[in-house]
A and B are shown apart, each in its own frame.
Chain A
Amino acid sequence: MDSARISHFLNHLYILGISGVLLGAFGIQFLDSEYPCPLCILQRMGMMLAASGAVLNIVRGTQASHFGMAIVGALIGASISGRQVLLHIAPDDPGYGNPAFGMHLYTWAFVVFVVIILLCGLHLIFDKSFGSEAPKKLGMLSKATLGLFALIILANAIAVFCEAGFHWVLPDNPDSYRLFGG
């Protein structure tokens, strides 16, 4: 398998990984009836921003600028999640929401952003396919991956609209879906 094909495959894996994390957060939101706070929503946006680099790699071919976009997106997300970690770092602070696998979601988000930056760095070091042309026609797997990612973004837009209602910003500690009069 040549470098371009491996890179193409890894970009799919990268988007599917981030989609899995976002779906997990969505699952906790609805199955555990948790209301995501404004910083949680901003971290989801950071993950999507970081994934946009991989989307461009798949559709337009591998370019260093796309990895730059992913790193900038991950740095923004890491700043937000790091900020939330620091908000709850004091002893005896229960944190926001219930922990998942031993850590709160914002701590996991920070780990995810650091891993994204690390993977982008490794990809930039070892990938030899820069400047390669994108496939003329996207395959079924690519269409399904990009479709799933777009669907997750749309679902988040609808969910956050339900949570915020017709207000410009979310409350600091949301406790209802304000669109439905909560």
Chain B
Amino acid sequence: MDALIFLLLLALTASAFSKKKHLPLILFFVTAACILGLFLYHTSDTLPVSL
């Protein structure tokens, strides 16, 4: 999963050269969502969810 997110980051960097105007923004949000999802996964065991 982590390696795939790094590849997404590489795609985001490469997308700066793309002719498609919105591609970097789409890739940015997809990557950010993946990072946040993985962060929540690693944090979920200690979150005060019972509150």
Interface residues of A, Cβ cutoff 8 Å to B: 38-39, 41-42, 45-46, 48-49, 52, 55-56, 58-60, 65, 69, 72-73, 76, 79-80, 83, 87, 146, 149-150, 153-154, 156-158, 160-161, 164, 168-170, 172
**Given pairs A45-B31, A58-B16, A168-B1, 4 additional interface contacts (CB within 8 A):** A76-B32, A76-B39, A87-B46, A164-B3
Interface residues of B, Cβ cutoff 8 Å to A: 1-3, 5-7, 9-10, 12-14, 16-17, 24-25, 28, 31-32, 35-36, 38-39, 41-43, 46
Specify which chain A residues have a CB less than 8 angstroms from the CB of B31 in the assembled complex. Answer: 45, 49
Q: Which residue of chain B has the shortest Cβ distance to A75 in the bound complex?
A: B32
Q: Are B43 and A73 in contact (CB under 8 A)?
A: no
Closest 6 pairs (CB-CB, A-B) = A157-B6, A59-B16, A161-B3, A160-B2, A48-B9, A153-B10
Q: Are A164 and B2 in contact (CB under 8 A)?
A: yes
- Minimum C-beta distance from A135 to chain B (A): 13
Specify which chain A residues have a CB less than 8 angstroms from the CB of B24 in the assembled complex. Answer: 52, 56
Q: Are B2 and A55 in contact (CB under 8 A)?
A: no
User: Can you pick out 18 interface pairs between chain A and chain B where the beta carbons lie within 8 Å of each other?
Assistant: A38-B38, A41-B2, A42-B39, A45-B35, A52-B16, A55-B13, A55-B16, A56-B16, A72-B28, A72-B32, A73-B32, A83-B39, A153-B13, A154-B6, A160-B3, A164-B1, A164-B2, A170-B2
Q: Are B2 and A169 in contact (CB under 8 A)?
A: yes
